[in-house]
Structure 1
Amino acid sequence: MKREAFIQASTRVRIEEKGLLTKEQLHRLTEVGSVDELNRILAETSYQQEVAKMDRPEDYEQMLDAELRELYRFLYEVSPEPKLIDVFAARYTFHNLKVLAKEILQETDLSAIYVPLGDLPIDALKEAHEAGTLHRVPVYGEMLSALLNDFSDKKEPGRIDVLADKFYAQRLAELAEEAELELVDTYAKDAVDLYNLSMLFRLKKMEAPVEMFQEAVLTGGRIYQPQLISRYFDTVDAIAGSLYGQPIGDTVREGINRYEETGSLSSFEQAQENHFMRMAQNAKMISYGPEVLVSYLISKETEIKNLRILYVSKRNHMSQEFTRERLRLTYV
């Protein structure tokens, strides 16, 4: 990608960055006692317009979804290379692919959990499935057909997620290669490695057979698959030690420490997201270029996730300490 092509886009993104919540603002939001108070403070920030549209304080999910849609709309508008944004939108595409497969198999309306992002042609795939012409829908028709056929053969619902994640990893690697940007390549490889390690720890906790991990492990990361599989029966500490010097080594250690403190693998997920936020923070010094857009995208998505954590915490009257422990790093 030509860095000079991103000068105008970088300027517009830097303006939008000024609307990101600061660490101090996030701390203030953590201290409020109710959703009403949370909305009142957010109404003084860049979220003012969306908060004003809320009919009820509890309608925060619609507000946050609208913010996420607007983020991608804006970045697709300003980016001279849409494929740069495609890299990050892909996970929503494959989330929707999983939902669609389950909707067809369960014969249940799951439209409420589709995400209005990504490029999955949901209606076209539904029509093609009913007509028996999935093979005519480019790319995703074959993928959906593979998911449905696998369930028909194995009758294991959990395999839908496993196979869809494999399709996602393949697509992510393709998009990262097309982007020709070191930051995106790093993101794609780290995402695969961290997914594999998260799956390894999850299956070990379940005392699942190693064959389940062999089936689930993704390609496309820096860590060689056989190396990961050979570590399946090692202790968690030994696995972390084997990653010393790897780009994700410190993140894995952070995730393991959090996991040992809480007993919850969501703590490992938190460490993963902090890893990508540090990537975004490292791009702060770049004046212009595609990295500026990627950095803002990661930062804004993380901010939206933090707000969702805050809303859930306030609605369920959780303690400030409980909430702070679950918040992700901030960009500002």
Structure 2
Amino acid sequence: MAKNDYTYAVARIRAREGKLLSASFLEQLVSAPDCDSCIRLLREKGWGDKDGEAPFELLSKERERLWELMEELVGDLSVFNVFLYGNDYHNLKAAIKETCMDVHLPGIYISHGTVDPEVIQTAVSKKLFSELPSTMQTPARTAYETLLTTHDGQLCDVILDRAALTAVYQAGKDSGNEFLALYGELTVAAADIKIAYRALRTGKEPDFLTQALVPCDSLDLPSLIEASGKGRKGLSEYLKTTAYGKGTDALDVSCSAFERWCDNLLIQRIRPQLHVPFGLGPLAAYILARENEIKSVRIILSGKINHLPEESLRERVRETYV
């Protein structure tokens, strides 16, 4: 579809951007006395659709609304596969663990992937991996056999996480859209850095990183693996030679602080889409903006439920798009 074909869709999104949560509103939530007060504030903003919704049910509803809107605007959601593959692999991971552990985990599957969760669940439970998309078949079979024979859940996760990141990265590259390619690049690079950081903290061997990391344009994997083997200082020194050098201070604090820095970097990079009148870019930016604010609200609600101090929540809340 030509970029001009999205002009009407972008116009619709422009009308909705004004309803995105602002930084000042997120501060209101952080300052609210409890979770119920946060829910009331969110309802005043139009979140949720019925009284008595559980906090995380409300968040799920907002994600449903987001993707229902996108389907209405573009029809074929495959243009946003770069955002959807992660859901597929989440569901694949869930199906494998349910099957191998012989348990039922209610509510573990999520919607809006490229494959119906029931198809994934059936394929795994019956070991009919050929019924999955071709790119999922090998990692699904390998992860299933690994968990079944070794009972190593972490290794199973590594196999599927790597496959998911590879799918996201390739979808960005194949999209022909600079913005979607940027999303794929930043997603994989951030994941690689977090994997390397956790590996050095837990004393993983270089072979682990070779299996877990996914190639991307903005990182040199051999250099990243070598730097990880030199400890935090070595990793920081390498990252300062990359586009992610400004994130080293956050990484020195914690992996979650670095994840926040990466999320904020993405929001900063997508803000120019606020002024683009057509194309997929503004639509994709709106998706990320909505997902980002839902993540921030989830952090705040979880913090209120667990009685975390306000300052701790402020340190975790993400930047807003508007």
Q: TM-score under structure 1 normalisation?
A: 0.89
**Is 2:72 the partner of 1:82?**
no
Query: Offset of 1:284 from its aligned partner?
Result: 2.1
Aligned counterpart, 1:287: 277
Q: 1:127 to 1:43 in 2, by over 3 A?
A: closer
In structure 2, how many angstroms separate the alpha carbons of the residues matched to 1:42 and 1:212? 43
The answer for unaligned runs of 5 or more in structure 1 is none
Query: Offset of 1:67 from its aligned partner?
Result: 0.5
Query: Offset of 1:151 from its aligned partner?
Result: 2.9
Moved more, 118-127 or 195-204: 118-127
Query: Offset of 1:154 from its aligned partner?
Result: 4.2
**1:229-278: CA deviations, max 9, x gaps?**
2222224233233233533332x324324x2xxxx422222112112111
Query: Could you tell me which of 57, 61, 77 is aligned with 1:66?
Result: 61
**1:292-320: CA deviations, max 9, x gaps?**
01111111111111111111122222221
Is this contact kept in 2: 1:279–1:295, CA < 8 A?
A: no
Aligned counterpart, 2:35: 35
In structure 1, how many angstroms separate the alpha carbons of the residues matched to 2:276 and 2:122? 46
**1:106-130: CA deviations, max 9, x gaps?**
1111232221221233323443445
In structure 2, how many angstroms separate the alpha carbons of the residues matched to 1:180 and 1:24? 36
Q: 1:151 to 1:41 in 2, by over 3 A?
A: closer
In structure 2, how many angstroms separate the alpha carbons of the residues matched to 1:159 and 1:199? 13
Query: Could you tell me which of 133, 145, 170 is aligned with 2:166?
Result: 170
**1:128-151: CA deviations, max 9, x gaps?**
445443324433444422211233
- Number of residue pairs matched? 321
CA RMSD of aligned residues (A): 2.1
Is this contact kept in 2: 1:75–1:85, CA < 8 A?
A: no
**1:149-201: CA deviations, max 9, x gaps?**
23345442211111111211221133113310111111111211111110111
Aligned counterpart, 2:45: 45
Aligned counterpart, 1:11: 11
The answer for unaligned runs of 5 or more in structure 2 is none
In structure 1, how many angstroms separate the alpha carbons of the residues matched to 2:137 and 2:208? 26
Q: 1:83 to 1:314 in 2, by over 3 A?
A: same
Q: TM-score under structure 2 normalisation?
A: 0.92
**1:24-68: CA deviations, max 9, x gaps?**
111112111012221222222132xx1x51325xx0111100101
Is this contact kept in 2: 1:151–1:157, CA < 8 A?
A: yes
Aligned counterpart, 2:303: 313
Is this contact kept in 2: 1:306–1:327, CA < 8 A?
A: yes
**1:204-243: CA deviations, max 9, x gaps?**
1112222222221112343122222222222423323323
AA partner of residue 17 (structure 2): E
AA partner of residue 185 (structure 2): K
User: Where do 4+ consecutive residues of structure 1 move more than 6 Å?
Assistant: none
Q: 1:131 to 1:239 in 2, by over 3 A?
A: closer
Moved more, 194-203 or 269-278: 269-278
AA partner of residue 186 (structure 2): D
Moved more, 190-199 or 142-151: 142-151
In structure 1, how many angstroms separate the alpha carbons of the residues matched to 2:62 and 2:278? 24
Q: 1:17 to 1:25 in 2, by over 3 A?
A: same
Aligned counterpart, 1:210: 206
Moved more, 95-104 or 284-293: 284-293
